[in-house]
A and B are shown apart, each in its own frame.
Chain A
Amino acid sequence: MTPVSSPHAHGARPVGRVMLLVMLALTPATLAGFWHFGWPAVTLWCVTILSAILAEAFAARMVDRSPMVMVADGSAILTGWLLALSLPPWAPWWVGALGSFFAVLVCKHAFGGLGQNLFNPAMGARVMLLISFPVEMTRWIEPQTGAMFTGFDPLAGLAITFGAQTPDAMTSASLLGHVKSEASRGIALSQSMTGHWDPMGFGLGQRAGSLGETSALLIAAGGVFLILQRIIGVRIPLAFLLGVALPAALAHLLAPDHYLPPLAHLLTGGVMLGAFFIATDYVTSPSTPLGQWIFGLGCGLLTWVIRTWGAYPEGVAFAVLLMNAAVPLIDRATRPRIFGRKRDGRSLSAS
């Protein structure tokens, strides 16, 4: 027997189990995405995840580690999964594949692998794709309830993902894109939103958008599950949602014709996915309690600012990446007070 350091017991869920539970939490929203967007969405999801696994195995080879072991921790699968959820559901296969390679190899392994990356891999890849392939990345599909079972068969789905032209009749603008372009033509929100804004339907995912971002309620349910499982904390998601909702509410109150209502902000785009699954990524978020509040609020606020005044209709990915860059600084500035010391590090005095 060799000497071993205490403690002689361990109480944490291993990393692989944590990743598995996160995937479980993503499943309902993913299935809803399949339901709304049909077989092409399924194919794209598979391609993206398989590419992520391939990229991880390749990276493992490069650093002389066992590919099986490295893939088994589930982090690459999760990265691919999250990326897939943030892609347009009928995007061509190479968008998913390229995105996954970029996410795993450039955003993660170039920084030193699991735990070392500064930026969220899925969001890094999404932004790269959005800037490089703006057309493919903004071709949204009108949701077809039960599309998986009616209309399109699996082969047609494959055909769409692997190169067939998307029928124009099925494309649609996202709410955020629509109001942004209408606003640029000087049309007031009250007018441009009519017929496009249905809170109830949006909550259930009845809107054009990314593969897995549309079912706000199901995503939130998955997030709450993770909070109850103590896998993620409540601080980052709550702060993120507040960071979006508070400025949105204030602006909407002052000028309802220029600024979207807070609920529209919360239920569209990637806010829900971002708040519960992206910003809460352990590696790229702060470790301190106060830092997590700041980080969440920053993500939310930046999202709203980019959506409201930026050139892009959606801002979650940009906001998360910007805040990612600030994490080392936030962590440094928000270290908890040490027991028996004042905040500045001096010892408490005897009373």
Chain B
Amino acid sequence: MDQTTWNFIFIGITFSVYIGIAIWSRAGSTKEYYTAGGSVSPFANGMATAADWMSAATFISMAGGIAAAGYGASKFLMGWTGGFVLLTTLMVPYLRKFGKATVPDFVGDRFYSNGARLVAVICAIFICMTYIMGQMRGVGIVFSRLFDIEIWMGVMIGGGIVFFYAGLGGMKGITYTQVAQYCVMVFAYTIPVIFISIIITGNVIPQLGLIGNYVKEGAENSQPLLEKINQISVDLGFREYTAGTGNKLDLFCITAALMVGTAGLPHVIVRFFTVKSVKAVRKSAFWTLSFIAIIYLTAPALGMFARTNFIEEINEKKYQNAPEWFVNWENQGMIAWVDKNNDGIMQYRAGNVFTGKPTFNDTNRLENGPRLVTNEIDSSANEVYYDKDIIVLANPEMAGLPKWVIALVMAGCVAAALSTAAGLLLVLSTSISHDLMKKIIKPDISDKQEIRYARIASFGALVIAAYFGINPPSSFVAKTVAFAFGLAASSFFPTLIMGIFSKRINKEGAIAGMISGIGFTLSYIIYFQFWTESKDYWMGISPEGVGFLGMIINFVVAFLVSTVTPPPPQEVQDMVEEIRIPKGSGEATHH
């Protein structure tokens, strides 16, 4: 069977499962729509949260980033898992006890003000919107590769599927679909790595690759794999794979911003409102991180294996003998080779091949010759360009694995993008139907009308997200990820923490804190990402890490303003005492 047939089989089966689950579990009430009726088991919720959390970016790009940056990519590994420790110990048990369906609900009630609620709603919409665009783009790209269609068609198909089960099923439908999607993702991610691990380290457990030896056939003597990679890297002019990055402060700030941002992302927080009690929240958080860890412990091994395979397969080989996958990806424009020294051999070294992303001119291309690029050629000795996003997708081909494995990986990518998009879409639609319509604009609407607003809102949000997925304004999507995390880190995280752990922080403090935290973070990111080309960061802290500073500003401002304004009313202080006691959490309500 050829590759396209396998792709159709895998995508077809997984999609039928998702749609079947959506129909089986469609929501009847707002409670089911927002929190799945509060009846999901901690184990199932853990799987669903893991799928919700791991996006197309994690699935496709992270291992490639690790392969390219080595130790420098540790910020993603630690940042995107460590946040769950903060989330579990500082936030979700208390928010679950509070018992409302959304994050702006808590902010509005705790700070007894619709102003605070509105600021929170705007933050939630902005965070989810920026995040969901990237997912739509991811779905579009995978579909266009799979079925050889235009990207816009891929985006429309993906959007249609997500609307179908997120709009119909609400949180209940999403939860059970995400459980299925997690299973697809974990197989798709680990199975190819297991095969490769056996070839390279002789160990069936790929996660142990980091501490294992290189035992590939034909190896002269067995040596630690990392030592070998360090050696190759240095030989080719790179820094050692395991070596530090120089700017510790920036690494520290980015890791912190990712952790704190993770703990402040509304679509992750609301997932814990679907279980029965505070006790179940704790258990579920443990399951969530365990499921995430299976993939996150595999990623660094995959990165190493991919780097080894890539160099062994390509470096110092004749272009005429280049492997099939190399030529395929070259035809997709994700790989390019410039024969700088005219020897017909590909030299892979440190440094840029040319400036920017490749642009091709195929009119003068010789038969069986490389595609010719029109970019300005760099003076470095490096001749091989590759887009690091192809690492996960190309890895099975690099290792010569069978075709069905490649189809499985594709299905995993789609599952990752769809599950995250669905979770985000739910928060977007509830922010509008519940927090905006029901709580602020039209308090007298009925349950049924509220769900109708939610469905209309999710349709509207999808149309906008699909539009930007099809027409991303110049690599806008990649840059906006910094926005989502920076905003979550500088707005929700500190505000929620203070709402739970302090009885003294009042509405003036919370609003002032949120606005100054976000204001600072947004200005810094916009200035360096869109305004200027300069990389002259303050103290060397890059825009990805600035959310950490924004968080500190939020804390300080909220504290200062609160001390000079009157304390919160007694009933709010009583409420804070109440949420600190786990007993009596009951079901999460929407009223």
- Specify whether A and B are partners: no
